[in-house]
Structure 1
C-alpha cells in the first residue's frame, strides 16, 4: 500500500470510528505528561492526555512495594501543587502515585486512562493520527511523547544461560521478599533500585550485589542540608549532557546513598561482587573468576525504549532509536519530554518536569502558531 492509499484509508476510517480531535495529544500521564498538561491548560490550548494504565499513577504502583523516590518531597512537586509531608523526607511509591492522581483531578486535566496507543503516524495536512488498541483514533496538530526513559527493563542475554530453577526478576516484576523463595540471591546492578532491593532482601536472604562501573555515592546530607538541595543550589542538576560537568556526571552517575552505600550494605551482610559475566545452570560466574550457585537473579541493569508503535520513519535513526534533541524531533510537531539527560541531569527526575514542560510548551505553541495560519484551535470533541 503506497502513502496515498494509506491516507485515503485513514480518511475513510476516521468517518467510521470514534475520533477525537485536539491541538495537542500528550502520550503518558506520569509526572512529565501532567506537568505538560498543566502548562498547556494555562495557555488555553486544547489537549488530551492518554495513558495505557487503568489509573493515573499505576506506573508507580506496579513497582516493588517498598519503593520510595530517591529525591525528597521538596523536589517532587509538580507546578502549582505541593507534595504534603516532611520536605526532606522521601515519598513512598503509593504516596506519589496518589499525588499524581490528585494533581490531575485538582486541575481538571483531560486524561483518558486505559488507552494504549497501537500506532502513531502522520496524516495529510500536518495532522498526527494516533490509533488506539480499542480501534478509536485521535487526530492532533502536535504530539508530546511523555512515556519517559524507563519503559522496558533490560534483561541481558546471560539470563538465558541460567537454569529454569533460578527465578529471574526485574524491578518491575519483583514486589517484595516473598517473591524470592530460594537463595542466595544475586542482584545485578548497583543503581538506586538495585541497592534498594539488595538492602531489603538482606534481612531475609543471602544477597550478592553484582556491580559494574565505579559508582560514586554522595552523603545524604552535608552540613545538615539534603545533598539534593546542594545539587540544585550549585546548579549541578542543570548541567547539560554535553557540558564537561554533565559528561562527568553521566559517567559516574552520582546520587545520595540514603544508607545504601557499600559500607552500609556490607553491614547488612550483603556481599559485594564484581560484574556478572556468565552463568551455567544455577552457577553464576563473576568477572573476578569467582562462582556461586544461586536461587534467584534480579536484573537491575537499566531500561530500553519501546517505540514499535511509532510508525513515522523520520522520527527514528537507522537502528530504530528515536531521534530527539532538546525535546524536539526532526518531525515537525513531534516532541518528547521526561527523557534521561534530555536537557540536563534533572530531565528524567520529577524535579525537572516543571522547567522542561514550560520550555517544551513554548516550543509547541510556536509550532502551532506557525501552522495554524489564522485558524482557531481544534475543539476537543468526539466525532
Structure 2
C-alpha cells in the first residue's frame, strides 16, 4: 500500500547576497519558503565594495529604497558607494533568513529526488528544493579582444579593476566605452592624466534633471521604468549617459578627448582609424559585464554564450530554477536598487508553487519522486 507522506522541503538556495539575493530572500520568506543565502564575500553586500571609490548612484535617495526599508539621507541627494554598502549591510542584518558568507558556489547539479545539489568550493553539498541564481555580473567583466592586444607593452585592465585616479597620474590613458562608467572614469582621470575616450559611436547624453525633477521621477511617472526590453530598444537606440552637464562640457571644451575606437595594438602603441599611431600607457575597458553563472554550466541551463535560458527570470530548462538581478530581466529597472524587488516577487511565485507541489510518495520499496511542478 502506498502512503503519501508530507515531508518538509529542502531549503531554497539563493546564490548571491547582494541587492538581488536579499530581495529574493525576503520574497521567498514571505511566500512561506525557507531561503538560505550563499554569499561568496565576507558580507552580504554584493559587489558594491569592489566598485571604484567615487561611484555614486544615478538615482537619488527617494528612488533608491527597498520596500519597507527607506534609504537614509536627504531625499534628493545621490548616495555614494559606501552609503549603499551600509544600507545593504543593515538590510541583511534585519532579514530573518540564514545567510552564509565566504561561501562560493562552484556548481549546481540535479538531484535524483527532483531538486538540486548545490556544491561549494569548500566541498560542501547542500540539498535544495529550488535555486535562485542572483550572483550578478561584476565577477564576469566583458573584455573585447582587439588585434595585437596580447603583445601590447602597456597595461590593459577592465574598469572593474579601477579604484581611483591616483596610480595613473601623468600617464597616457585610453578608456574604451560609451556608457556611464566609461565617461565617469575618463572624466575623473582627466584631472590627473592625458585621457581619450574611445567609442564606436558618439556619446549619447541624457539630462539628469528635467524641469527641476530628477530623471527617475519621469521614469516612474511615465512608467518607462517597468517597460520590457523589447519596448525599450525602440526608445533608446544607444546607451544613455546620465549627465548634469559636466561631462558634455568636458568633451566640448577639450578637457576630455573622444575619438573613434582604435583598430589595433602594436607594441606600446595603439593605431587609430586614420592610421596614426600613439604610445599609450594604459587601456581601460569599460565595456560592461556578463552574468556570472559559470556554476550552472554543467546543469545545462545556459546557452552556448553562457547566457541563461529564461523567460522573465524563470528558467526554461529546469523547474525550480529562477534568476534575479539580470540586466533588463523584465524591465529597465530590473537589476537596480529601486526595481529588483518587483522581479524578486515575480520569480518567487512560480518557485513557491513548484516547491510546495513537490511531494514524496513512500512505499516499502523506497522513496519515489513526485511531480516536478
Q: TM-score, normalised to structure 2's length?
A: 0.88
What is residue 354 of structure 1 aligned with on the other side?
341
TM-score (norm 1): 0.86
Partner of 2:330: 343
Report deviation, 1:71: 2.1
Deviation at 1:252, TM superposition (A): 1.5
Aligned partner (choices 353, 357, 367) of residue 370 of structure 1: 357
Q: 1:87 — aligned with what?
A: 75
Cα deviation for residue 181 of structure 1 reads 4.9
Does the residue aligned with 1:195 lie in a helix, a strand or coil? helix
Q: What is the alpha-carbon distance in structure 2 between the residues aligned to residue 46 and residue 272 of structure 1? A: 51
Listed as ranges, the matches of 1:1-383 within 5 Å are 22-57=10-45, 59-158=47-146, 161=149, 165-243=153-231, 246-249=232-235, 251-267=237-253, 269-330=255-316, 331-372=318-359
Rounded Cα–Cα distance in structure 2 between residues aligned with 1:141 and 1:319: 27
Cα separation, partners in 2 of 1:260 and 1:45, compared to 1, 3 Å:
farther
How many residues align? The count is 353
> Distance in 1 between the 2:46 and 2:24 partners?
18
Q: Distance in 1 between matches of 2:235 and 2:201?
A: 13
Q: 1:181–1:324: structure 2 CA closer, same or farther, 3 Å change rule?
A: same
Aligned counterparts of 2:243 and 2:266: Cα–Cα separation in 1:
33
Instruction: Quote the offset at 1:183 in angstroms.
Output: 1.7
Determine helix, strand or coil for the equivalent of 2:41: coil
* 1:120–1:284 distance in 2 versus 1, CA, 3 Å: same
Structure 1's 309 and 115: CA in aligned 2 closer, same or farther, altered over 3 A?
A: same
- Give how far 1:92 is off: 1.1
Q: Can you give the 5+ residue segments of structure 1 that lack an aligned partner in the other structure? A: 1-20, 376-383
| Higher deviation after alignment, 261-270 or 224-233 | 261-270
Paired residue secondary structure (1:272)? strand
Displacement of 1:373 in angstroms is 6.8
For the 8 Å contact 1:206–1:269, the answer to whether it is kept is no
| CA 1:304–1:287: 2 relative to 1, 3 Å | farther
Change (3 A) 1:367 1:287: farther
Q: Is the Cα contact below 8 Å between 1:185 and 1:206 reproduced in 2?
A: yes
- How far, CA to CA, are the matches of 1:195 and 1:162 in structure 2? 25
* Residue 167 to residue 317, structure 1, CA distance change in 2 (3 Å): closer
CA deviation after TM superposition for structure 1 residue 289, in Å: 4.1
